[in-house]
Amino acid sequence: MKILVVGIVRSRQVKRLKEEARKRNHKLDACLVSDITILCEENRFIPKVKNKSLENYDLIYLLTLGIRRWVWYAACEYLSKKGVVIVNKAVVDPAFNFNINVAKEYLLEAENDLPYPKSLIFLSSNYTDSVVKNFDFPLILKSGEGRQGKSVFKIKNNNELAAKIKKLHKTKSTIVAREFIPNEGDLRIFTVGYKAVAAMRRIPVKGDFRSNISRGGKGYAFDLSIYPDIKLLAEKAAYVNRIEIAGVDIIINKENGKPYILEVNPGPQFAGIEKCTGVNVGEKIIIYFESLLKRFND
């Protein structure tokens, strides 16, 4: 099987996927989002990466795309009709691929009775009063496009709120205000094919409220067999968002034990969760790719 990973070329994540692909006699390449070209003329639509036709690949895994994703979505829509398997499903499903944003995520979760913290989505700095009206301090303010704990702030008063909203407004990102859930860290559940394969509890470093491993948080193995409700919640969140390989972040209110979905990440890192759980996540991803190709060929 020929596999292309899109978005990152040099990272521990890609290195691990290459290692596991090689063990199972597959070839795995990686490219940047900017490496694509599409030749378009009458009766021809030819997407390539580094002058190599994308039709040469059996499977393309869109690990991360960012704001330039639309060209890749069109290319993948075309390639899926040519027999190339695309991961994640959301990209080639017309009900999803032009609606991948935080508002769509919350809509899907609301429609499927999935719990998440009360949130307010807005696009302008004119709505500071709406935040104050709907939330108590402290509250969370974040960019709807942020990942790995970036552009996420814990707000304690009106002055901080106005300053951070102004800062986020300048980036032209979607702004999300969210109720603060008292907690003792959060959970990262890694799902492959909508099935939970590994989980860890993440504890933030002293002085920070964000538990992301990329920001210095510490990870500890979390036994999902003891918490089947958490496992089911993570799997359902991945499924309703059609993200086949996902890092589902769940927070538990330490005062009443209620779990809430924080995010469903479509390009999750797995080096940290492999290290603290001992689960070979990279192998599970490659095996899942094999099952997708077999299913397609059958």
Please write the tens of the pLDDT for every residue from 159-209: 999 999 999 998 888 999 999 999 999 999 999 999 999 999 999 888 778
Last residue of a domain, one of 62, 97, 132: 97
240 with 155, same domain?
A: no
* Sign, CA torsion 82/83/88/90: positive
Last residue of a domain, one of 179, 210, 226: 179
Report yes or no on 281 lying in a domain: yes
Largest CA distance in the chain: 63
pLDDT at residue 32 above 70?
A: yes
91 with 122, same domain?
A: no
Q: Tell me, what's the pLDDT at 133?
A: 96
- Average confidence (pLDDT) over 41-62: 95
On average, the pLDDT of the chain sits at 92
Q: Tell me, what's the pLDDT at 217?
A: 82
Report yes or no on 161 lying in a domain: yes
Report yes or no on 105 lying in a domain: no
58 with 145, same domain?
A: no
Express each pLDDT in 104-156 by its tens digit. Answer: 889 999 999 999 999 999 999 999 999 999 999 999 999 987 665 678 999 99
* More confident: 190 or 210: 190
pLDDT at residue 6 above 70?
A: yes
210 with 161, same domain?
A: no
> Which range is least confidently modeled, 32-36, 63-67, 154-158, 162-166?
63-67
Domain that holds residue 154: 118-179
Report yes or no on 272 lying in a domain: yes
Percent of the chain whose pLDDT exceeds 70: 97
- Model confidence at 90, in pLDDT bands (50, 70, 90)? confident
161 with 69, same domain?
A: no
pLDDT at residue 61 above 70?
A: yes
CATH of residue 47: 3.40.50.20
pLDDT at residue 292 above 80?
A: yes
Report yes or no on 31 lying in a domain: yes
Report yes or no on 87 lying in a domain: yes
- Average confidence (pLDDT) over 33-40: 96
Burial of 34 (0-12, 13-18, 19+ CB in 10 A): exposed
191 with 228, same domain?
A: yes
88 with 156, same domain?
A: no
Report yes or no on 11 lying in a domain: yes
197 with 277, same domain?
A: yes
- Model confidence at 66, in pLDDT bands (50, 70, 90)? confident
Last residue of a domain, one of 50, 68, 97: 97
Query: Structural domain tally of the chain?
Result: 3
281 with 256, same domain?
A: yes
263 with 175, same domain?
A: no
CATH of residue 221: 3.30.470.20
163 with 71, same domain?
A: no
Dig out the tokens for 85 from the structure: 């398997």
Report yes or no on 170 lying in a domain: yes
Express each pLDDT in 216-244 by its tens digit. Answer: 788 999 999 999 999 999 999 999 999 99
Q: Tell me, what's the pLDDT at 93?
A: 79
Q: Tell me, what's the pLDDT at 149?
A: 60
155 with 196, same domain?
A: no
Residue 107 carries which side chain, given as an amino acid letter? Answer: L
- Average confidence (pLDDT) over 239-268: 94
Q: Tell me, what's the pLDDT at 148?
A: 59
Q: Tell me, what's the pLDDT at 106?
A: 92
CATH of residue 148: 3.30.1490.20
> With helix as H, strand as E and coil as C, how does the chain read?
CEEEEECCCCCHHHHHHHHHHHHCCCEEEEECHHHEEEEEECCEEEEEECCEEHHHCCEEEECCCHHHHHHHHHHHHHHHHCCCEEECHHHHCCCCCCCCCHHHHHHHHHHCCCCCCCEEEECCHHHHHHHHHHCCCCEEEEECCCCCCCCEEEECCHHHHHHHHHHHHHCCCCEEEEECCCCCCEEEEEEECCEEEEEEEEECCCCCCCCCHHHCCEEEECCHHHCHHHHHHHHHHHHHCCCCEEEEEEEECCCCCCEEEEEEECCCCCHHHHHHHCCCHHHHHHHHHHHHHHHHHC
